[in-house]
Every structure is written in C-alpha cells, then in structure tokens.
Amino acid sequence: MGTDYSRDTIYVGGKWITPDSSAKLDVISPFTEEVFAKVPKVSRADVDTAVAAARQAFDHGPWPKMPVAERVAAIGRLRDIFAARQEDMAQAITAEMGSPITQSRTIQTTVPLMMMDEHSDLALNTVKWTELRQSPSGNALVRRQPKGVAALITPWNAPMMTVIQKLGPALMAGNTVVLKPASLAPLSAYLLAEFIDEAGFPEGVVNVITCDRGEAEYLALHPGVDKVTFTGSTGAGRHLAAKCGELLRPITLELGGKSAGIILDDADIPAAVEAMRLLSFRNSGQICTLKTRVLVSKKREAEVVEALAEMVKSMPVGDPLDEATHIGPMVSQKQRDNVEYYIDLGVKEGATLQAGGLGRPAGLNHGWFVQPTLFSGVDAESRLAQEEVFGPVLAVIAYEDEEDAIRIANNSVYGLSGSVFSQDVERAVSVADRIKTGVLEVNGSPFGFHAPFGGVKESGTGRESGWEGFEAYLELKSIGVPKDYADSIA
C-alpha cells in the first residue's frame, strides 16, 4: 500500500474543509486485513454543513440556471480528468474493497466513463427539457426542471459505477448533490472529489462526506434534501423508503438480487458456461445483478454441472493486485463469514458440493478469501436458492420443462436481473418476457446504458440509466399558454 489514502478533510462547498467531528473511519485492506487509511467520520453538524452548501448552490448559484449544454460540458471535463487518472482510480478501488485489478481497470473504471458519455448524449439529444403539447383541451409548455438537493447514498461493491450512474443524470438535470459513499469503500469517492474540484464545478454543486449509518439516515431525512437515491441491501432500503414515505420524499432504490440464468435445451452449453465466468462471478461474486441461480433441464444437468465445475476450478484466487487473479477477497471479515455461512448451509440443506466449499483457499494465510463454490441438486425452495449470498457461490437447479424453468425463475422475492441462453433468439426473448425482473440478457448480450436499469419486487423501485434515469431527478411542470402563443412557437 504505497499510496497514502488517508484524509483529514471533507469536500464541501467547493473546498476541502476540516470537519466538525474529529472521529475517523478505519479503511481495512481485504487482502492484508490491516488498517491502511483513515477518513473522517462526520457528525450531524457536518451533514448540516454539506446540505447547506448544496442548498445554497441550488437556490442561489448558477448551476440550475445554466443551459444544459454547459452542465454537460462540465461533466465532460470531469470525464476527461477521470480518464487521465483511470489507473489511480482502479488502484484505489482494488485497495479499498478487493476487486481484482483487471476488473477494476476494465469494469469498475471503464464503465463509469461509458456512462458519462452516454448520459451526455441523452441529455443533449433525447431528454425533452421543454416540449409543447397541444390538444382540444388546452395548450401546454411542459418543463422538466431539477428537483433540488439530491442525497446520493452508494455501496462498496461497485463504488464508481453506482456513483456515476446517479451523479451524471442528477447533475445534468441541474440538481446539486451530497454524496455519501459506503464506509467500507470511501477512498474512490474522495478521489472523485479531487477530479470534480479540478474540473471547476461551481461551489457546493457536489459535496462528499463519509459517515456511519446513523448520519447517513440523517442525511436522507434532512429537511434540506429534496431527493434520495440509495443502492444497497433490501433491509436498509426498506427502512429508508418507509422513513422517506413519511416525508413524501421521492427515493430511488436499487437493492438485492437472486437472479436466474436459464439455460434452455438448445443453448450452446460451452458458450453459456463461459459466459457465467463474468455473469456469475465478476467482482468475486459481489455484484447484485449476478446470476447466482443456474437453471438447467434435468436431461442436460450433468453436462452443465461438469462444465461449470471445470470453469469454477479454473479461476485463480489470490492477491487482487495480481493480474492473474479472477477471485479476490471478500470486502470484510463479516462478508466472508456470511458467505461461509451459506456454503455450510448449502451442505446442510442437502445440495451437492461440486467445487470449492469451506476452508481458506490453498496458499493464502491472510485476506478475507472464500473458495469459488458450485452446488448442484439445489432445491428451488431452499434458503441457498432464495437468499442473497453476495459471494462467489453458484447454485444449479434442475427443471422439468420450459414452463417449470419460468416458474422457478419467478419463485423469488427479488427481481433485478436474469439471463436466458438459447440458439433460438426469438424463443429466448419470449422466455425473457415472462420473467418478473427489471433487466435480462439473451446469451449474455449487454443492454447498455441507453436502457433503463432497476428492479421489481424486493429489488427496488425506480430506474437508473437511459433517459428514464433522468426522470428521478426532475420535476414536471405544465404551463397553460394561449393558443395563438402556442401556435407561434409550434
């Protein structure tokens, strides 16, 4: 850990300021298990200061009044600085939460750049900031205007992807923000604040603070906040949604998942199994959209299980800075203990262990590692099949026919993601249409950032990405105008 990541200040009002609180959060390396950085643990007074800065910037600053093109240009400057320092960001993410460095470079930091590009295109070419609607009942100018101050509460597993997914549309829409990253992964957010400062945003447009759950809730419910967006656990999301509901405060939630990868009988089995390397195991299994249930027909079950076992055993586990590593450590000891609990539970529930299992991977005497693990013969009603593990654990469930596969896929309290594999794309799309989930991929095909992303059921409410991702940060206003005026601007 050659880089000194520690911070004594927070980024508020366009300046690095000393917080009111002297408390610190320890940042612990998932690989060495040692504290390697400390960052401020802000108080409620610091939250008040950050919200006041964002409030001032929205109510009296230039940002919400700027033409959209100027706000997009500011994001463009941020994007260029981010790109120039992409390796710094990748290193910070790997250091703080253990993402394998190749994935930090290719997914954790490349995807945010793609998002900023596509957000910019949508803001300039797709979002209808003002439109004229004429009908026999009246003539209206429909405006889309920023909501105000947005609180962005983001998770540790994909820190920049989730931040940029929210930050881009929020800022381009004219809002100001207070960003509260996960306490387990705060370093990348502070690095982003450096980029924002260099990009020359007006004071108070973006504010970055770090705190524990109590202060995060205080932020979300603060009277100076107009909009909340949260990515994290279903339990925490449900709690925040109830509290925001009492205030009639809009909240976007992206929560847990237990997504199904359905392999139909006509699928290209080797291609489907290889796709699971990333669809089920990227970021060491710590991604909410991963396909952690693989559904396969009984007549092809043995073939698929054998191929999956070979794939799982082929993924090197180790130092996240080693470019050969596929599976890094879990983010924390608590997370490792939780994953090991579910591995033990799978054995107790009678599933067949095909690869991995309990015990530290060979040759690793430190780090919060678990072995990538594959179970077959998993009961669709079991806890292993129903509950989110959030680690490199894959459950294979056998189905009788296509109808049974759809039933099993939908037998979940979650509905975030999914995949269907078939050489008949039309058939795969037909099956995808019947899965109760927010997004799906056919044969692993990505849906991109021009499409809305989000979940149903206990996976969340609202959508991010696409032009729909801007709507969460906008208020609609209809202004009735005389017909001759409407005709003159039509």
What pLDDT does 93 receive? 98
For the chain (490 residues), the mean pLDDT of every run of 10, in chain order, is: 88 98 98 98 98 98 98 98 98 98 97 98 98 97 98 98 98 98 98 98 98 97 98 97 98 98 98 98 98 98 98 97 98 98 98 96 94 98 98 98 98 98 98 98 97 98 98 98 96
- C-alpha torsion sign, points 202, 27, 114, 230: negative
Q: Give domain status of residue 44, yes or no.
A: yes
3-state secondary structure of 28: strand
Q: Within 10 Å of residue 359's Cβ, how many Cβ atoms?
A: 11
| The model scores a pTM over 0.85 | yes
Same domain, 208 and 269: no
CATH assignment of the domain containing 431: 3.40.309.10
Out of 288, 301, 340, 441, the active site residue is 288
Same domain, 104 and 165: yes
In a domain, 313, yes or no: yes
248, 266: one domain: no
**Same-domain check for residues 212 and 348:** no
| Residue 400 falls inside a structural domain | yes
| Residues 162 and 144 placed together within one structural domain of the fold | yes
Rounded Cα–Cα distance for residues 177 and 54 (Å): 6
Whether residue 246 is found in the same domain as residue 269: no
Q: Do 112 and 173 fall within a single domain?
A: yes
381 included as an active-site residue: no
Active site (annotated) includes residue 118: no
Is residue 487 in a domain? Answer: no
Name the packing angle between helices 68-84 and 187-199 (round to 10°). 120
Q: Which domain holds residue 416?
A: 259-442
Burial group, residue 334, by CB count within 10 angstroms (0-12, 13-18, 19+): exposed
Residues 226 and 285 in one domain: no
If one counts the domains in the chain, the total is: 2
Cα distances (Å, whole numbers) of residue 378 to 151, 215, 232, 386, 404: 40, 41, 27, 11, 15
Are 35 and 113 part of one and the same domain? yes
Q: What is the CATH number of the domain that holds 211?
A: 3.40.605.10
Do 287 and 419 have their domain in common? yes
- Specify if 2 maps to a domain: no
- Within a domain: 486: no
**Of the residues 254, 340, 441, 468, which is catalytic?**
254
Domain assignment of residue 417, yes or no: yes
Q: What whole-number distance in Å separates Cα of residue 220 and Cα of residue 464?
A: 18
- Are 137 and 125 members of one domain? yes
The answer to whether residues 282 and 391 belong to one domain is yes
Q: Is residue 406 domain-resident?
A: yes
